[in-house]
Amino acid sequence: MDTTFLPVTPDEVRAQGRDVPDFVYVTGDAYVDHPSFGPSIISRVLEAEGFLVAMLPQPDWRGTADFKKFGRPRLGFFVSAGNIDSMVAHYTAAKKRRGEDFYSPGCKAGLRPDRATIVYCNRIREAYGDVPIIIGGLEASLRRFAHYDYWDDKVRRSILVDARADLLSYGMGEASIARIAHLLDRGIPVKKIRDVRGTAFLGKRGDTVHFPTALGTDADGAPIGYDYDKLKTDKRAYAKAFAVQYENNDAVAGKAIVEYYDDRMLVQNPPQPPLEREELDRVYALPYTRTYHPMYESMGGVPAISEVKFSITHNRGCFGGCNFCALAFHQGRSVRSRSIESCVAEAKQIAAMPDFKGYIHDVGGPTANFRHPACEKQLKTGVCTNRKCLAPTVCKNLRADHREYVDLLRAIEAVPGVKKVFIRSGIRFDYLLADPDDTFFQKLVEDHVSGQLKVAPEHCAPNVLAHMGKPDVAVYDKFRKKFQTITEACGKKQFLVPYLMSSHPGSTLDDAIALALYTKRIGLAPEQVQDFYPTPGTASTVMYYTGLDPFTLKAIYTPTDYHEKKLQRALLQWRRRENHALIREGLIRAGREDALAELLGGGFQRGGTKPAPRKDTAKPHRGKRSGAAKGQEGGRKAPPKKAKTSASGASAGKKSIHSGKKR
């Protein structure tokens, strides 16, 4: 396929016979033209709609010169912080500054500002005044309402207010962005664009709202909404507001939501319907160059591409419903997937790349083994607002079926030049067990595990798992035993990599002790632990801030004290001798001296597990996870890490802004 990058200089715009582009796309990431990167998808969609888009990656935000580089665009600016929230990109869960940025050339940190969306928009306003500005991407999507900000430790206003942008595109933005572009092209003033699904805008109190509103209207016919002045001080009101937002984040049943800021009114229109199979196929068939722009070659390239270069994203959305995950708020809970033909066509493109060695690193997505909506009901009436599909138990209406996924994997395996297909995205093991047909489980273990398989039990304590929205640990125990049985029958040496989380809302010191004892008893020795990370757009973050479950409004114990979080973290890392004093303190504080000998005595006996690396870095992901411990199950020494078999996706994830991975 003959592909070229979109213009990044004024000369490249003029080479296309234009003085100025239709749109300038500002992004906080380096320019990587790959479908795991949201800005790449949106810019290619706009190109396919007939618009000339110039890319402005990582501009110098300290002045306006870079923002004037292309002149005033004919129709406006699109602004994104990049594939992940800029604060998550810059800071660890301990609020320490990261030294690397995988989305920047040479992994160099500091090439984008904190709160990049806001800063970029303010520079554009300084440069061009009332030029139309549309914001999108993960940072804008998850901060579209008043939101608790972990770094400021307060409830901040909607990012649309602080950015002074005209429109906010939330979720997967292809359809809404294309519609906005065509309306602007027809001469519709941006202030008049008020009826596009998947967008939010600021109006005046009393303005007409195009869609029915979630809370109805008052006696005067004005839409009822929460007031920011109340949300920033009343934690109960904040939790209730989040529940309303969560319940209306569905294209079938969702209604408009209103927030008030003095005399202004924030309106979120209902979500766009998810792209159906044929639409997704068209998006992924666009002419991506599938690499970073050559201007970065002398700078060491862009490390993020290594995570996804030889991987295929086959699905979107996640009905797993984990409370710590932002996917439900961004991609939604209704799953859609690409056709087998579309994925095979991408596999053929990958196989033709000169540096391809025969290994497809991943055929995955937010959750690798989802291919279709959880049940037929979701298509007719939307996702359930009063229960989850998989937790605490599997819904009786769930359609657990891996047959098409097996067909997809076999079709990609048959592509000339492909030696092996791995699955490196997370597998939802409770969904796997719900399928009465073991064909996929057997094939997964025999053919698609590159030494290690990522799964996410998260914890073992029932109380914590309930607040996470995860199934009982007995489900994980059943899965890991079956995985081991099949692995041994195949004569293989491969391992589970269980993700565990410390200090999640609901986790007491007793729960942390229970998790430590559980890991020791099953032979899992976590070495590197990340505390729960309160990022915008998750129910768990609401719990952390308010101390309330937003869905029940019941009080939840939340570990926020720094020293207690250290104790919980140390307990999970019981193998480290430097943690023994903290572990002893925690056990004595909890009155669990009986566990001293089990956790601290005798040393670690290799029997079933050795941990695998999991670093707290802002690598590409599908937007999914908030924090985890590294560890590995399997009974033998872990195999060496393979050079080019890392997980696909961008985030979150992944998770990616418009295409999906980690939280």
CA dist 313 and 228 (Å) reads 38
Token pair listed for 401: 């079926």
Give the SS3 label for residue 367.
coil
Token pair listed for 189: 């003033």
CA dist 384 and 439 (Å) reads 29
What is the structure's pLDDT at 656? Answer: 36
Token pair listed for 656: 């990616």
CA dist 307 and 20 (Å) reads 34
- CA dihedral for 80, 5, 280, 305, sign (positive or negative): negative
CA dist 56 and 40 (Å) reads 12
Provide the whole-model pTM.
Answer: 0.90
CA dist 10 and 642 (Å) reads 42
Three state DSSP letters for 45-91: HHHHCCCCEEEEECCCCCCCCHHHCCCCCCCEEEEECCCCCHHHHHE
Helix boundaries (H) for 169-234: 174-185, 228-231
Block residue for tokens 């707290």: 616
What is the structure's pLDDT at 524? Answer: 86
Whether the Cβ atoms of residue 333 and residue 391 lie closer than 8 Å to each other: no
What is the structure's pLDDT at 657? Answer: 31
First and final CA of the chain: distance in angstroms?
A: 33
CA dist 425 and 444 (Å) reads 12
The H helix count followed by the E strand count for the chain is 23, 21
What is the structure's pLDDT at 230? Answer: 98
Task: List, run by run, the mean pLDDT of 10-residue segments along the chain (663 residues).
Answer: 84 96 98 96 98 98 98 98 96 94 96 98 97 98 98 98 98 97 98 97 93 94 95 98 96 97 97 97 97 96 95 96 92 96 98 97 96 94 92 95 98 98 94 97 96 90 96 97 95 89 96 96 80 95 98 95 94 92 96 93 42 41 40 42 33 35 37
**Cα–Cα–Cα angle for 215, 218, 219, rounded to 5 degrees:** 155
What is the structure's pLDDT at 525? Answer: 80
Whether the Cβ atoms of residue 492 and residue 581 lie closer than 8 Å to each other: no
Distant-in-sequence, close-in-space partners of 578: CB < 8 Å, separation ≥ 6: none
Exposed e or buried b per residue across 399-428, where buried means at least 16 C-beta atoms within 10 angstroms of its C-beta? ebbbeebbebbeebbebeebeebbbbbbbb
Domains of the chain are 1-196 (3.40.50.280), 199-270 (no CATH), 308-600 (3.80.30.20)
Q: Measuring CA to CA, which residue among 117, 92, 212 is closest to residue 528?
A: 92
HSE value, Cβ hemisphere, 13 Å, CA-based, for 434: 22
What is the structure's pLDDT at 290? Answer: 96
Backbone angles phi, psi at 452, to 5 degrees: -140, 140
Q: What is the CA radius of gyration of the chain?
A: 24
Helix boundaries (H) for 414-508: 429-434, 439-447, 462-468, 473-489
**Cα–Cα–Cα angle for 622, 499, 82, rounded to 5 degrees:** 20
Whether the Cβ atoms of residue 246 and residue 539 lie closer than 8 Å to each other: yes
Helix boundaries (H) for 527-649: 539-546, 562-572, 580-589, 596-600
Q: Measuring CA to CA, which residue among 47, 36, 83 is closest to residue 350?
A: 36
Q: Measuring CA to CA, which residue among 42, 39, 12, 45 is closest to residue 27?
A: 39
